[in-house]
Homo-oligomer: A and B are copies of this chain.
């Protein structure tokens, strides 16, 4: 797996606030039980690229209910490095061809799939068949069919499947969900949501359609899409879209920028954009009948903050979102409760993103059933 560009790494900065000081994790968790004595669940990271290296492995050190127990990688040099750095025993190191053998390894409870998008189904299904719970990075996969296969495999195996929607555990985003749901500014009218960045290395897998399944929409536009859904609490019924390319040498078979619009039940409108070709676009703004609220930045690993039309600030302290999500998933597993970001949630986004691509390709609005 190709490492992420430094541009992207710098763009999505790591939170430096320790998990121990997180006042929100417990309160925000959908499943957490304070009384749970519980052992720590063993996580195996499948895919040791930039996200695992700089975000997830450090985050695991901050969790209360999880530990880094194993790795899955196709690169022996990476295995050696991680083994040394994190003291991972040899028996907990797998390749993508040996993942099935995890079935015999009680150290590993959860596989966190962090491989390129188009490999998520293969690795999720292998983990499920080995009897493991799966936390899969977003986008869930590159087609609705593969998403469904992942859901079916985990269900059949009896394990849980969660998608890496870290903002469902982020206090500023949760505050905006509260403002929307409690109609603090009245009924919602329009949601604008925009997320993009300028991608670096032209040879990375994100620019290879076979591995990514699409461009910025699949990678970061999905956050804007997610925002419209968790803010409205509803599902879009119709989408229109336009994609553009200004640098065809770099963007050969995927979009460089995309703008899409969605109509929600009751007439709520959403207008969204995403890009791989410029920085500093990271926000959402919700207009309601009596006022508005916004986050900018809205989707980063830390520094998220916002404003309200009544002069109020939205500025909860940053937390380690990955740690919060992993702890929540562990508690869901330990307490046999459903995650709030299940595979079905990932499937819904992929279905909508496919509709967005269809709308852009055909020039026709696409109804979403």
Q: A-side interface residues toward B, CB under 8 Å?
A: 187, 189-190, 192, 194, 198, 238, 240-242, 244-246, 256-257, 259-263, 266-273, 275, 277-278, 280-281, 287-289, 291-292, 309, 359, 363-365
- A198, A271, A292: which has the most chain B beta carbons within 10 Å? A271
14 contacts between A and B (CB under 8 A): A189-B277, A190-B257, A190-B259, A190-B275, A240-B240, A242-B261, A242-B262, A242-B269, A242-B365, A259-B270, A271-B271, A278-B287, A280-B291, A363-B365
A287-B275 in contact (CB<8A): yes
- Assuming the contacts A189-B278, A190-B257, A275-B190, asked whether A269 and B244 have C-beta atoms less than 8 A apart, the reply is yes
A187: B residues at CB distance < 8 A: 246
A291: B residues at CB distance < 8 A: 280
B240-A365 in contact (CB<8A): yes
Number of this chain's copies in the complex: 2
B365-A190 in contact (CB<8A): no
Task: Pick the residue among B272, B292, B364, B365 that contacts A278 (CB under 8 A).
Answer: B292
- A240, A270, A281, A288: which has the most chain B beta carbons within 10 Å? A240
B246-A242 in contact (CB<8A): no
| Bound-complex Cα distance A278 to B238 (A) | 22
A277: B residues at CB distance < 8 A: 189, 289
B273-A269 in contact (CB<8A): yes
Given contacts A240-B240, A240-B363, A242-B263, could you give 9 more A-B pairs where the C-beta distance is less than 8 Å?
A: A189-B277, A190-B273, A190-B275, A240-B242, A240-B261, A242-B365, A244-B268, A257-B267, A281-B287
| Minimum Cβ distance to chain B for residue A354 (Å) | 17
B241-A267 in contact (CB<8A): no
| Minimum Cβ distance to chain B for residue A294 (Å) | 10
| Minimum Cβ distance to chain B for residue A338 (Å) | 32
- Assuming the contacts A275-B190, A275-B287, asked whether A267 and B242 have C-beta atoms less than 8 A apart, the reply is no
Q: Which residue of chain B is the closest to A185 with respect to CB atoms?
A: B278
| Bound-complex Cα distance A269 to B259 (A) | 8
| Minimum Cβ distance to chain B for residue A200 (Å) | 14
A244-B257 in contact (CB<8A): no
Task: Pick the residue among B238, B244, B271, B292 that contacts A273 (CB under 8 A).
Answer: B271
A280: B residues at CB distance < 8 A: 287, 291-292, 309
A189-B242 in contact (CB<8A): no
